Amino acid sequence: SKNSFEFSIFERSENLEATFTRVVIETVNNEPCIVDCTLTLHDKFNSKICSARAKHYFFSVNCTYWEFPSDTLSKEWKSYLKVFKRDPSHRLLIYCEFSVSNGTYFQIYMPKSDSSSPTSAYSSLQEDLRNLFHNKHLSDVKLSVDGETLDAHNTALVARSPVFAVMFDHQDMLESRSGIVDIVDIDAHIMKSFLKFLYADSVDEMDYEIATKLMMAAEKYQVFSLKEKCAMFFKNDMSEENVCEILSLADAVNHEFLKSTSIEYIIAKSTTVLSSPQWIPWKENNMKLATA
C-alpha cells in the first residue's frame, strides 16, 4: 500500500510540538499501521540531553493526525531557550527516528538556528552501525550460509542475540574457537536481512515470505525486537487466506499476541474462514490450535 508521512516540529509559546500526518492515496486500499517515534535533544557537542519515545496506531483512513507527547522535551526546550538568549552559539539539535510497522524507516537531524546558518547533520549510532555492516571493517566472524561467507562482528552479534552471546562466550564451543558459524536452516538472502537488522535495527524489504523466514530466524537467535516487527507485519497483512498459516507460525515461535490476534480474526471471520478450502486440511493437522 502506498502512503506518506508529513512530519513537522515547531515551537509554540516556548513549548516544543511535533505532529505526524499520514497521507494515503484515496484509491488505494490502505491498511492500518503502527508508528514508533523517538525524539531526542542533543547539545552542540552532539551529547544527548533527553529523549522521548511514543507509539501511535494509524487507522486505515486518509490524513490521520497524531501529536507526539512532548512534555518532557518541552521542559528541556524552555531551559535551553534561556541559555540560547544569553549565548546564541549554544545550539540544540533535534533528532527524530521514525519507523512504521511495514518496515519504513527514516531519521533526521534538525538544528535550532537562523535561516542563514548552514544545516548540520551528524551520523547517528544507527548510521555508523549500518555503515559497519556494509564495509565489514575489522570483521572477526564468518557465517557460512548457502555456500556464501558473510562477514560480521562478534560484538554486534553478541550484543543483539543471547544465542550468539552464549555461542561466543564459551571457549569449548567450535564457533568460539574458529570464528566460523555454519548456518544450515536459513538461506543467504534472509540471513543478510537478519544481519542487517542486528546492526541497524531495520529491514529494507518485507513481504509475507520474508517476514515468515525472519520470524523463524528471530526465534532461533532470540532477537525479540525483530519478532515484534514481523508480528506487526503479520497483524496488518492478515486475511482469510493466510490467517491459519499465521496462527501456526505464531504458535511455533511462541508469540502469544499474534496467536490470540489470529484466533480473534478467525472468530470474527468464521463464516469465510471455516468454509475455505484450506480450513479442513489445516484443522486436521492442527487440531489443538483449531479448538483453542
Grid cell listed for 121? 547533520
The pLDDT value recorded for residue 250 is 94
Q: Please give the class, per CATH, of domain 238-291.
A: mainly alpha
Identify the band that residue 161 occupies on the pLDDT scale cut at 50, 70 and 90. Answer: very high
Number of other residues whose CB lies within 10 A of the CB of residue 242 = 16
Q: Which fold has domain 124-229?
A: Potassium Channel Kv1.1; Chain A (3.30.710)
Question: What percentage of the chain has pLDDT greater than the value 70?
Answer: 76
Q: 73: Cβ–Cβ under 8 A, 6 or more apart, which residues?
A: 16, 39, 41, 50, 52
Do the strands 33-43 and 48-58 form a parallel or antiparallel pair, or are they unpaired? Answer: antiparallel
**pTM for this model (two decimals):** 0.58
pLDDT digits (tens, 9 = 90+) for 75-98: 777 777 777 666 666 667 777 777
Mean pLDDT lowest among 5-14, 170-179, 202-211, 228-237 = 5-14
Mean pLDDT of 56-74: 74
Q: Assess if CATH 1.10.3430 describes domain 4-100.
A: no
DSSP helix/strand/coil, 269: coil
Domain with CATH 1.25.40 in the chain: 238-291
Question: What residues does CATH 2.60.40 cover in the chain?
Answer: 4-100
Read off the pLDDT band of 30 (50, 70, 90).
low
Helix axes 256-268, 243-252, angle to 10 degrees: 160
Q: Which amino acid is at 155?
A: T
- Answer yes or no: are the C-beta atoms of 54 and 69 closer than 8 Å: yes
What average pLDDT does range 192-204 have in this prediction? 90
243-270 pLDDT per residue, tens:
999 999 999 999 999 999 999 999 998 8
* Average of per-residue pLDDT values in the chain: 79
Give the pLDDT confidence score for residue 216 in this predicted structure: 97
The set of cell numbers assigned to 277 is: 478450502
What is the reported pLDDT for 67?
Answer: 82
Confirm if 35 and 55 have CB atoms less than 8 A apart.
Answer: yes
- In the chain, residues under CATH classification 3.30.710.10 are 124-229
**Distance in angstroms (rounded) separating the CA atoms of residues 227 and 207:** 14
Closest-CA residue to 260 (of 238, 292, 288)? 292
Predicted local confidence at residue 99, as pLDDT: 76
